[in-house]
């Protein structure tokens, strides 16, 4: 089994003046290629910190983050930026679209690093906007779209360059329940179609229900792990489930 993400003894301590906040205490976790892994926990439990470390947006205080076998915490800023452009996509709670750019321009942005001509970039961005149901809104600016539409642009942007891993931090946090279902359906479908790995942060158990595995985060540690779809996840426990009930000792 191929582990595309491997976290070993990750720790993140923030210091503000004299105060010390242990955002992540000591976290180890492996995520398999193609897995949909959800980090579930209450506000302040350390979910975003964990995701930001995995996505190379922050450096750990201690521990290692391997993505595709490469220790990203050791990379130079320049190498890390390139690595992120090539392999990672990100969906934010607040969409983070560039306000002056149209939907098409926002979505084609990640392709500018790929050495493609403008017409090819525009075609890929247009196809992606079509896939999220926004073919009629390609010239709209973020302020001319609803929250749900803006997040669909955000999803199109995260997936357009076909990254192997997509990270999403509370992607439906600002959306109503109907739009939440649409957006979650879109993200899950897109990732499944291309066997992309998906790591989503949420405090919402209903969102977590879409995942192959739910990692419960409490006070900067992994409290417990629920396996929903054993075949798709990286876990010794899952291996036991797959090899049959006989392999699991009675009472476990």
Interaction site with Mg ion (CB under 5 A): 48
Contact (Cβ atoms closer than 8 angstroms) between residue 138 and residue 129: yes
- Name the 3-class secondary structure at 184: helix
Contact (Cβ atoms closer than 8 angstroms) between residue 202 and residue 169: no
User: Does 44 engage in binding with ligand ADP (CB under 6 A)?
Assistant: yes
**What dihedral angle (degrees, nearest 10) is formed by the CA atoms of 214, 241, 163, 177?**
-40
Query: Between 102 and 172, whose beta carbon lies closer to ligand ADP?
Result: 172
Q: Which does 113 bind (CB under 5 to 8 A by kind): Mg ion, ligand ADP, none?
A: none
Name the nearest CA neighbour of 3 among 43, 34, 33.
33
Taking the complex as a whole, how short is the minimal distance between the CB of residue 52 and ligand ADP, in angstroms? 8
Query: Between 57 and 109, whose beta carbon lies closer to ligand ADP?
Result: 57
Q: Report how far residue 5's alpha carbon sits from residue 30's, in angstroms, rounded to the nearest whole number.
A: 6
User: Does 48 engage in binding with ligand ADP (CB under 6 A)?
Assistant: yes
Tokens of 56: 């190379």
Q: Which does 98 bind (CB under 5 to 8 A by kind): ligand ADP, Mg ion, none?
A: none
Taking the complex as a whole, how short is the minimal distance between the CB of residue 191 and ligand ADP, in angstroms? 21
Taking the complex as a whole, how short is the minimal distance between the CB of residue 47 and ligand ADP, in angstroms? 4
User: Does 14 engage in binding with ligand ADP (CB under 6 A)?
Assistant: yes
Tokens of 171: 């992607």
Q: How distant, in Å, are the alpha carbons of 15, 19, 30 from that of 22?
A: 9, 10, 22
Q: Report how far residue 155's alpha carbon sits from residue 166's, in angstroms, rounded to the nearest whole number.
A: 9
Residue of 49, 102, 108, 197 that binds ligand ADP (CB under 6 A): 49
Q: Which does 41 bind (CB under 5 to 8 A by kind): Mg ion, ligand ADP, none?
A: ligand ADP
Tokens of 176: 């109503």
Q: Which does 44 bind (CB under 5 to 8 A by kind): Mg ion, ligand ADP, none?
A: ligand ADP
Residue of 17, 43, 115, 236 that binds ligand ADP (CB under 6 A): 43
Residues near ligand ADP (CB under 6 A) are 14, 16, 21, 23, 41, 43-49
């Amino acid at each position: 089994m191929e582990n595309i993400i491997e976290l070993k003894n990750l720790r993140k301590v923030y210091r503000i003046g004299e105060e010390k906040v242990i955002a992540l205490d000591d976290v180890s976790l492996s995520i398999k290629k193609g897995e949909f892994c959800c980090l579930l926990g209450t506000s302040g439990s350390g979910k975003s910190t964990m995701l930001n470390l995995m996505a190379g947006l922050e450096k750990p205080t201690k521990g290692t983050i391997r993505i595709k076998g490469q220790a990203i915490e050791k990379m130079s800023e320049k190498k890390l930026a390139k690595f992120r452009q090539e392999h990672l996509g990100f969906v934010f709670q607040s969409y983070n679209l560039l306000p002056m750019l149209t939907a098409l321009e926002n979505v084609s942005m990640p392709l500018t690093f790929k050495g493609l001509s403008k017409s090819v970039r525009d075609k890929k961005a247009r196809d992606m906007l079509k896939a999220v149901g926004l073919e009629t809104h390609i010239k709209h600016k973020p302020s001319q779209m609803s929250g749900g539409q803006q997040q669909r642009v955000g999803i199109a942007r995260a997936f357009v360059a076909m990254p192997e891993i997509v990270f999403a931090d509370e992607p439906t946090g600002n959306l109503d329940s109907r739009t939440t279902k649409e957006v979650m359906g879109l993200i899950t479908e897109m990732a499944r179609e291309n066997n992309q790995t998906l790591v989503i942060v949420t405090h919402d158990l209903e969102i977590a229900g879409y995942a192959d595995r739910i990692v419960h985060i409490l006070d900067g540690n992994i409290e417990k792990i629920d396996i929903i779809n054993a075949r798709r996840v990286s876990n010794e426990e899952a291996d036991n489930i797959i090899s049959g009930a006989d392999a699991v000792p009675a009472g476990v």
